[in-house]
Amino acid sequence: MLQNHTILITGAGSGLGLGIAKYCKAQGAQVIVTDIDQDKLQLIASAFDEQDLLLRCDVTQIADLYACKSAIQAKYSKLDAVIGAQGIFDGNLPIQSMTAEHLDQLFDEMFHVNVKGYLLTAHIFASLLKASNGALVFTTSTAAYAADGGGAVYTATKGAIRSLIQQLAFEFAPEIRVNGVAPAAIGNSQLKGPKALNLDHQKQSDIPKDAFLNLFQSISLLQDLPDAEDYGAIYAFLASQHNKVMTGQTIVADQGLLNRAVLTQAH
């Protein structure tokens, strides 16, 4: 699907982003893998080769994004798609369980990574994507569609991305297609918590596997817990030149989670 495609994946040092990057490479793409954590990039280097680029990049920093853009131009002279996969989780904590000061810090931290990072990425790489009639694919969440997919701040950031997809599709048309994916559960998710709540050393994968699987199966129509690469085909299609029919849309990839029983008890 992705022969002759050059694709940038942000936040791809682990978890969802890494799964997407591996899938895109398997489909023939040259991939640029970026992450804020240099150690993560060194750990995954063996999964990629000289056709690819692994770059440290903080998507909240303009200088980092421009350095990434320059490296891409120097190696490939083009860019066909940007897939945004970075994000942090708020631990699903109610706002009344924290102090006002913690909430203030949490808002700034999460909106910087989960929203500002996407905005700056879109702005800085738009010229390359316009030249290739390329694509932006952003990651939102089922939390943007229903309560209890995260706490209030995480939910607000993912709702913002859902709306941003529509606005950027309007602003960048017709040269750039802008779409999104709203995943639900991800096996072995590496999504971290925020520093503002001292949760930056905790990951969703720290939840015991059996407990996570039991919870997933109790609320989902599909019972196989997907891993990161299982979402890859959706991102790859939206990023590819094969997509000639969609822009301004978000695909809700929720394993039937939002199609909840209302009158009938689950068996």
Tokens at 45, concatenated: 């280097």
For residue 239, give the nearest of 142, 135, 145 by alpha carbon: 135
Cα 111 to Cα 222: distance, rounded to the nearest angstrom: 32
What does the radius of gyration of the chain's CA atoms come to, in whole angstroms?
18
Q: Which residue in 23, 118, 145, 154 is the catalytic one?
A: 154
154 is known as an active-site residue: yes
* Neighbour tally for 221: CB within 10 Å: 14
Structure tokens at 48: 């990629």
CA distances from 197 to 1, 88, 194, 226, 231 (A): 41, 12, 6, 28, 29
Residue 55: alpha-carbon gap to chain centroid:
17
Q: For residue 142, give both structure tokens.
A: 């089922």
Place of tokens 């720290």: 206
DSSP state of 132: T
Catalytic residues, which ones? 154
